[in-house]
Chain A
């Protein structure tokens, strides 16, 4: 048992070597989603920006456990870090936000959503992402044709996208919205859109009767692409666009299919932006803007083959 105590002391001393207190500002980055690619890009870029600024960064991931994230947030609040950056829905971690507020520690959202207890939140603008792909369609069709929309009203961030795209199409006199479909999710993300698109193709059998498919996210765009290819109508020049730039969507765009464009959020840019905002806040600047939007980028085959 003496061995146990000895080993314990060695282990703890090893840990102590890592944890010496620094004078530089310390920023805790807290998320339950570090395993997700977008979050990883954001955290890596935040660490890079912080290193340039000479900060010490403490990345805390709780592996999808929200309750544990709240506990760790209470810990860093008591420890007295200089700022906290979160990548999680703030409404789900309110006790942690209150602990930070009580300790006078500013909390910043990184693609997390706005909240009164956050200094500010940095994210992408859903309205402009939808505008990018909708204007791409209008331009490609030279302002005339039948468009099928895939929308999803129950989820506010996706509903926004649909509303903007609809406004743009309706503002173009010779474009007709032939159908606006809410796909079913019962059999996974692709199947519902694919079934719906098959029905649309049967209802519009003439070549050229459908000019474009605008989807509020990539999955229904991919489902529609499958339906169009399997119906042997890939050569009619139907233009398909999505949003989010998933791996599968990039592949479809790169191989030169009807899927022509999607929108990629600039995760690296968001991380740099939040680091800059933390810096100016620590420097005494007053930040009143609730959400800071980092422009997202339209992705086409030309961008991917660069």
Chain B
């Protein structure tokens, strides 16, 4: 990742120490992959399994990538999981009322954007801390999803076949040896989201300004950046990401349940944090988030293949996240983490925006 909004002195010449500090999480990821490869040689490092992992992680990927934009400015969006569930219910209810797939998708994206807009207005214009505001909207979205659905799942014949087949479909890419290679539709959506966020953060003025806001909001304000508008925009993108993820989840399962997206939020934040260890300044960056998502996905897949108890899986996944972040702070990045956290905490009570 490139240096952005940083006041750090110019880097010294290449040193192995520095390389490991910077890319330790990536090295860890590669070690994890090699480890599973040696443990499950016949099933882990195979094309079908990696296609499987990308499909499984695609939904988390979309929310984690768009969440990265929010976290670049130093905010959080806790409402994405509940919003993804709500979007699924909105689409399912549209189908129940004989709506077409196009109508359902359009309505869903509208609901996602509206949810993000609400978060953005609360945080950027009313000045409530992102933590409190999105915790509030999380509860509202969850309540709405339960209210609209009456607490029940939407599934069965009301869901158009073209909608549910999308989530299970793939584009064939030909053969490698005896294996058919096909790129799942869900993976393609995640790649598109990744490219979209990567371009915004790295190749646009908006991206540079978002990093400037995250670096020092006061300085950014004096620099003439329209802070409120950009923070609002970041929440709207996050809301849209949640909507896309909610539709992907609905299509993959052919079932919309009023709480089915709620696991996404904490995992997305964990992925962004893992990715922050891959940046010199411990800033959220979408390339790092991708590695974070892959670490979570590979761990879940590999540990399941090794028949590790699911509770031990949760413990080891949590331990690896803590390990990665701790060691990257111990090795000299704590200043940056401290700064990021202090900024986030300072915004907790109320903003003087």
Chain A residues packing against B (C-beta within 8 Å): 1-5, 7-9, 11-12, 15-16, 18-19, 26, 56, 58-68, 70-72, 74-76, 78-80, 91-95, 98
B103 is an interface residue with CB less than 8 A from chain A: no
Known: A8-B31, A66-B257. A71 touches B24 (CB 8 A): no
- Chain B residues with Cβ below 8 Å from A64 are 259
Closest A residue, CB atoms, query B31: A8
Closest A residue, CB atoms, query B42: A80
Interface extent on B, as a size class?
A: 35 or more
Cross-chain contact B304 with A4 (CB below 8 angstroms): no
Q: Offer 11 A-B interface pairs, CB within 8 angstroms, sorted by A.
A: A1-B21, A1-B27, A1-B331, A4-B28, A4-B323, A8-B31, A12-B31, A16-B306, A19-B306, A67-B260, A74-B55
B156 is an interface residue with CB less than 8 A from chain A: yes
Partner of B52, one of A62, A74, A80, A93: A74
Known: A5-B28, A8-B28, A75-B301. A95 touches B310 (CB 8 A): no
Count the A-B residue pairs with Cβ separation under 8 angstroms: how many?
128
Known: A8-B31, A78-B52. A58 touches B253 (CB 8 A): no
Chain B residues packing against A (C-beta within 8 Å): 17, 20-21, 24, 27-28, 31-32, 35, 39-40, 43, 46, 48-49, 52, 55-56, 59, 153, 155-156, 167-168, 249, 252-255, 257, 259-260, 263, 300-301, 303-312, 316, 319-320, 323-324, 327-328, 331
Cross-chain contact B48 with A70 (CB below 8 angstroms): no
Cross-chain contact A1 with B306 (CB below 8 angstroms): no
- Chain B residues with Cβ below 8 Å from A7 are 323, 327
Bound-state CA distance A131–B73 (Å) is 64
Closest A residue, CB atoms, query B262: A65
Cross-chain contact B263 with A79 (CB below 8 angstroms): no
Partner of B39, one of A16, A58, A59: A16
Bound-state CA distance A5–B320 (Å) is 11
New A-B pairs, 13, CB < 8 Å, besides A4-B327, A75-B300, A91-B155: A15-B316, A16-B35, A16-B39, A18-B307, A61-B311, A62-B310, A66-B260, A72-B304, A79-B304, A92-B153, A93-B253, A95-B167, A98-B168
- Chain B residues with Cβ below 8 Å from A65 are 260, 263
Closest A residue, CB atoms, query B30: A5
Which 4 pairs across A and B sit closest by C-beta, in order of nearness?
A: A19-B306, A1-B20, A1-B24, A75-B304
Bound-state CA distance A133–B249 (Å) is 42
Bound-state CA distance A91–B154 (Å) is 11
- Chain A residues with Cβ below 8 Å from B263 are 63, 65, 67-68
Known: A78-B49, A79-B305, A95-B253. A71 touches B56 (CB 8 A): yes
Partner of B43, one of A26, A62, A80: A80
Bound-state CA distance A8–B253 (Å) is 34
Partner of A5, one of B27, B168, B310, B316: B27
Minimum distance in angstroms from A89 CB to a CB of chain B? 8
- Chain A residues with Cβ below 8 Å from B249 are 67
